[in-house]
Structure 1
């Protein structure tokens, strides 16, 4: 048990980290090999694929793993995932038909959606493994699938200079990992005698809708500037924005890493009604984030742009202020993420969905307004303006719910 716990923690962290940063490596490769225009197309297509990935996973692995009463059996979860992945792919087809992009852009969007579809399918098999204390196998799959995918993508793109061929190779890699590793490792948890109950499968759409909507909007608000850039600006600016927003993405992930080891303490304090300690841990995490954020901001202001310029082989000297603004927005998003985790612990989920809905509407309006006026600089202002609203709403809501919690104990 102790050995599995360590293996689970190590491999899961490695797997999630490499998988989270694979888009960073793809963008570096494409920008250097294929040029800034193609990199812009890829970046936009990847953001669409990530959004539709939420449709593919729908309620997510967390819902599956937390189903300790086994309201659905493993076959039913697998059938449900086949349905959601089909929906994901059909939405991608409808999207490119409606948008009427170039053939090259359409093909890249479809190939990247297919790549994320394989990832979504894997999530069900990962659920089987995680539920049986084999999270380390999940971590290994994510780690090696992502690492091999990056290497294959680089080699094929370097040799062919063809982004479509490279994306096809990436999909073949994912397909092979799903069928030769993920399914092979998890098929022992599939009982062929299990009955498929369609009412249970379709019932999951209703039960998991709030989780799906919450996750969908969370991905959407982060990517709204990219969607507006696609409408108003050319692909070159899509690449530039994707590069300067990348350190912000890393900052947001840091928030998750800081929160993860303290999450058990947060839950325990809440369950034991140690509300003052609960609040202290939350604000301790926020303090760490703020200090880390200041350090990152100083780094961004001094060496951030030169480093990004070297890594991505592009002149970014005109975007120093944009990088600083983006990272500030990412710090705010990470802070809001801590409040969100605290509110989830407090079982306060309904209002969070409303907060994200408000953010999404605000983000579309403000991003369109600023990007149409200030171009790429407007994208950074729009992004950070959304995060300012986001953190204000979350701070107010957390303090309100916490005050109610304390009063109920008096």
Structure 2
């Protein structure tokens, strides 16, 4: 048995802590890049940016988009121990692959170490997502949100302080990883025993679990890859400073995803329930509100970005971004499409129609591979911005259409 939980939280507490956790996670990337850029300079920030991009890719593998599946596994098809076992297996495999990749790409020892340490950090986040899903499944997003907030703030603060003392990123990254592990012990493990036994199982059912999550994994993996494809191209054809500039103007797109997560994450269990109970009018109303919210967020953020984005970002990061206003607006629209795509695949996961996700993301992935190189070579930063936005537009259109089709079918039944 874990720590005693003394009261049932109010909806207000759940929303506040879920929002705080989502905000801490989303803004951590911004703060980390800001810290590196301001303290260590644009060149170090460029190395950090490509390392973090690869770390996000590894995160998508270890997470395997099991959070939504686990949190909505109402009938207990797989045990908590099996979810843990699957993540441990993927963690070990991912670290072997990323270590080999740094050699294939010809990174020097320093850049390789930065990449590997950032991947460990994101893998720790993916491993702790099993606890998040357990808390969410038991309607305790407040505990999950508190844990996300404390772990993230503790580890990010350690990294920033480390950068102030050290001239390179190795030691700050070691400190960040150590503090995140301490955070898992203090803020996750103390509550796990209240809901399930902390254990790990490695058996045949793990492979069935990974197979069930495979369409969702493909969606998540390709989402991250599509986000990062312009960064991968820039890493090959441009300078670390240009990598830093692109990462700075991409940052505001996370605001839209952040605000969207505030809205849709608490509704996933309810969406699954309304679908299961065949209350289709309620199911439709919830989805219309969520997509409407994303549309309003995208419009508001794009307008604000046009007016204030470039001068504010230049001031905050200490990097001259004059001339990139249109690129920023294209990226913000792409961020809105990304939010709609993420909501769509979460809805399809909740109603157990993951089969559509694979085809949508394969189509967008192939488009990204085809257009990114030529666009960036011909149009530089604008090409990178367009190659970021177009694939998410494709995904959003396809998945929303699939949700509409399945809803019509179910209403007829």
State the TM-score, normalizing by the size of structure 2.
0.88
For residues 297-333 of structure 1, what are the alpha-carbon distances to aligned partners after superposition, in whole Å with 9 as ceiling and x for unaligned?
A: 2211111100111111111011011001111222222
- Alignment of 1:177 onto 2:197: no
Q: Which residue of 2 aligns with 1:162?
A: 168
The answer to whether the Cα contact below 8 Å between 2:150 and 2:187 also exists between their aligned partners in 1 is no
Alignment partners' CA distance in 1, 2:260 and 2:149: 21
SS in structure 2 of the partner of residue 317 of structure 1: coil
For residues 128-160 of structure 1, what are the alpha-carbon distances to aligned partners after superposition, in whole Å with 9 as ceiling and x for unaligned?
A: 444555543332221111112222212111122
SS in structure 1 of the partner of residue 323 of structure 2: helix
- Alignment of 1:324 onto 2:329: yes
For residues 240-276 of structure 1, what are the alpha-carbon distances to aligned partners after superposition, in whole Å with 9 as ceiling and x for unaligned?
A: 1111111112112322323346657755664565545
Equivalent residue in structure 2 for 1:290, among 290, 295, 299: 295
Alignment partners' CA distance in 2, 1:195 and 1:302: 51
Alignment partners' CA distance in 2, 1:336 and 1:71: 27
The answer to whether the Cα contact below 8 Å between 1:74 and 1:189 also exists between their aligned partners in 2 is no
Residue 375 of structure 1, CA deviation? 1.8
* Count of aligned pairs between the two proteins: 407
- Alignment of 1:386 onto 2:388: no
Q: Report the more deviating stretch, 5-14 or 365-374.
A: 5-14
Change in 2 beyond 3 A, CA 1:129/1:397: closer
Alignment partners' CA distance in 2, 1:265 and 1:56: 26
CA RMSD of aligned residues (A): 2.8
Q: Report the more deviating stretch, 47-56 or 215-224.
A: 215-224
Q: Which residue of 1 aligns with 2:251?
A: 246
Q: Which runs of 5+ in 1 are unaligned?
A: none
Q: Which residue of 2 aligns with 1:334?
A: 339
Q: Which residue of 1 aligns with 2:105?
A: 99
Change in 2 beyond 3 A, CA 1:397/1:79: closer
Alignment partners' CA distance in 2, 1:274 and 1:187: 34
The answer to whether the Cα contact below 8 Å between 2:22 and 2:258 also exists between their aligned partners in 1 is no
The answer to whether the Cα contact below 8 Å between 2:113 and 2:170 also exists between their aligned partners in 1 is yes
Change in 2 beyond 3 A, CA 1:220/1:281: same
- Alignment of 1:58 onto 2:64: yes
The answer to whether the Cα contact below 8 Å between 1:297 and 1:327 also exists between their aligned partners in 2 is yes
Q: Which residue of 1 aligns with 2:310?
A: 305
SS in structure 2 of the partner of residue 55 of structure 1: helix
Residue 179 of structure 1, CA deviation? 3.5
Alignment partners' CA distance in 2, 1:280 and 1:126: 27
The answer to whether the Cα contact below 8 Å between 1:336 and 1:391 also exists between their aligned partners in 2 is yes
The answer to whether the Cα contact below 8 Å between 1:43 and 1:239 also exists between their aligned partners in 2 is yes
Alignment partners' CA distance in 2, 1:336 and 1:260: 14
Q: Which runs of 5+ in 2 are unaligned?
A: 1-6
